[in-house]
Structure 1
């Protein structure tokens, strides 16, 4: 009887250890382990269900607030190396932490320097869906998110993601078409090497700053990481211009699978968390419509006149529209 009890106790300890060590493997983007249940899977992820500054969000153009004090975004020009991995939930690039030169992100709405850490790839299995953030309820085929941590206040991402102003999220909307980002091919050419869960592939000398669209126009708001545990410590910057990949590259990423080669399960795509309520948060922008020759109503929110955040309606002529591939801008006044 004693031996039996010890055997059961040993099994119980092993099971608890397995559960504790596998939180990262339990969550998905659908079903009973999907976004609506993330906060129930792990008590440390409770913000996923209870938070009021969650991401992603739908950006409503008529409620954007022009902020004349927003600066240009600064990226170090260093190249980075790291590992591209299929986690079973997403495709993730993580930088080598022992690299001699790290990429710092500063400027814009940021009060500190942030050190680049990782890239998450969100995409759909069809062209009409894929991005997490939306613009006037428009969804892009994909979204690439660059994360960095506040290196001036914290030691690493694990510490920073729990702390105030700990994380920056840079959102790059992905469109299919021309001109294709040539430097992004260092990653897209490796898609076939990470087709199954747990597979990884080294990426060398990635010029991170070259992945960014050719613009300094952006939107910004305070939110959370879009994956568990949804920590509300992120400053989000959404560039006002997509980057482009080819149909062949999109086909390749859509072939990635959630499972192993033995048990592939479902395709990895459609890995986007639904948009979350703004709860009276303000989305600011450095796009100055006054200077672009568009007549502005006296009701248009403008921090030149209003030193506090407001949410008044813009006239319809100030709504943003999606432009052609030649234009490339996501948001422009009519």
Structure 2
């Protein structure tokens, strides 16, 4: 029948791609968005199906990102503040347009480490990665009570106590720690992000494979002024989706200007001789929480007695109001 023929045709096209083709497979053969280029490039819903080494993307039980529902968070009084160690020195780094992200890779001369908080080891900074949206209502990988932010900064670290490098740590237990900070819009921008996103700098990486060296960066400037955070056990958010990441989401946003966000949206996924495709919306959809706990050191039980719903209201970016009709948080600075 026609129905049977169509099924057979579908299988004949897709089954070969699902079988091990490691010798031919490029580790970078994946995308965030559907792009008509004449060839099939897997978007997030296909990541775990096209290559056996990426199967965690489809069947994993501790995947990231997630939608953080503040009513589900558990206060953990033993969560200490995160410790940042720069050795008292500024760092240099190379900023790249990878075709998917704005990526800042620190040089090896000035090491930046984090420890404390939920971490049992010392983790070395490997990369600062930016996710951002085509509209102000989206662009962050994590959501807060169903709401997205214009962007998200992810500081990706590897366990330097147990592993020799990021590649080894990424596929190993307790291998990765990611500090995540939501991006919001403001008249003034964060000092660290301003170095990356001012017009003189960001225009140096308009196209895929462009790179630009930055010096004299103080990573401490990127961290908002708070010791409060939310943490859970999850995965790397790109293939192969290894479930080796401890996520630490800082409880205050970091700010960029509307112009800087516009500049990000003008970055191309492609080389200059190819069609322009904006890098924006470079986010993986949220994944099921399943049996995991979301812990926090935000002590929401200390809210005043006049707040009847303090469990839901306390742990977030200073929620301005709670509207029962829409069931949405309205987040203020």
Q: TM-score, normalised by structure 2?
A: 0.82
State the match for 2:32 in structure 1. 29
Q: Residue 46 of structure 2: SS of its match in structure 1?
A: helix
**CA distance in 2: counterparts of 1:331 and 1:105, whole angstroms:** 32
1:184 shift after superposition:
1.8
State the match for 1:187 in structure 2. 196
Q: 1:127 aligns with which of 124, 128, 136?
A: 136
State the match for 2:323 in structure 1. none
1:289 shift after superposition:
1.8
**CA distance in 2: counterparts of 1:280 and 1:179, whole angstroms:** 40
1:264 shift after superposition:
3.4
**CA distance in 2: counterparts of 1:273 and 1:290, whole angstroms:** 33
**CA distance in 2: counterparts of 1:163 and 1:207, whole angstroms:** 30
**CA distance in 1: counterparts of 2:295 and 2:187, whole angstroms:** 29
**CA distance in 1: counterparts of 2:245 and 2:44, whole angstroms:** 18
Q: 1:227 aligns with which of 212, 217, 238?
A: 238
**CA distance in 2: counterparts of 1:38 and 1:205, whole angstroms:** 38
1:191 shift after superposition:
1.3
The answer to whether the 8 Å contact 1:196/1:264 transfers is: no
State the match for 1:318 in structure 2. 311
- 1:206-227 CA distances to partner (integer Å, 9 max, x unpaired)? 1111101111110000000111
The answer to whether the 8 Å contact 1:23/1:42 transfers is: no
Q: Which runs of 4+ in 1 moved over 6 A?
A: none
Q: Residue 241 of structure 1: SS of its match in structure 2?
A: coil
Q: Residue 124 of structure 2: SS of its match in structure 1?
A: strand
Q: Residue 155 of structure 2: SS of its match in structure 1?
A: strand
> Structure 1 stretches of 5 or more lacking a match?
1-15, 297-314
**CA distance in 2: counterparts of 1:295 and 1:64, whole angstroms:** 21
Aligned CA RMSD, in angstroms, stands at: 2.2
**CA distance in 2: counterparts of 1:331 and 1:291, whole angstroms:** 21
> Structure 2 stretches of 5 or more lacking a match?
1-20, 35-40, 321-328
The answer to whether the 8 Å contact 1:322/1:331 transfers is: no
1:120 shift after superposition:
1.2
The answer to whether the 8 Å contact 2:57/2:63 transfers is: yes
- 1:49-76 CA distances to partner (integer Å, 9 max, x unpaired)? 1111000000111110000000001111
**CA distance in 2: counterparts of 1:83 and 1:39, whole angstroms:** 31
Report the CA distance shift for 1:18/1:285 in structure 2 as closer, same or farther (over 3 A): same
State the match for 2:304 in structure 1. 293
- 1:219-275 CA distances to partner (integer Å, 9 max, x unpaired)? 000000111111100000000110000011111111001111111331010001000
1:183 shift after superposition:
2.4
**CA distance in 2: counterparts of 1:288 and 1:234, whole angstroms:** 24
State the match for 1:301 in structure 2. none
1:157 is aligned to 2:166: yes
- 1:293-326 CA distances to partner (integer Å, 9 max, x unpaired)? 3479xxxxxxxxxxxxxxxxxx74431365489x
Q: TM-score, normalised by structure 1?
A: 0.82
State the match for 2:106 in structure 1. 95
| Alignment: residue pair count | 291
- 1:95-141 CA distances to partner (integer Å, 9 max, x unpaired)? 223x1x30110111000000011011100011011000011001000
TM alignment of 1:298-313, pairs within 5 A: none
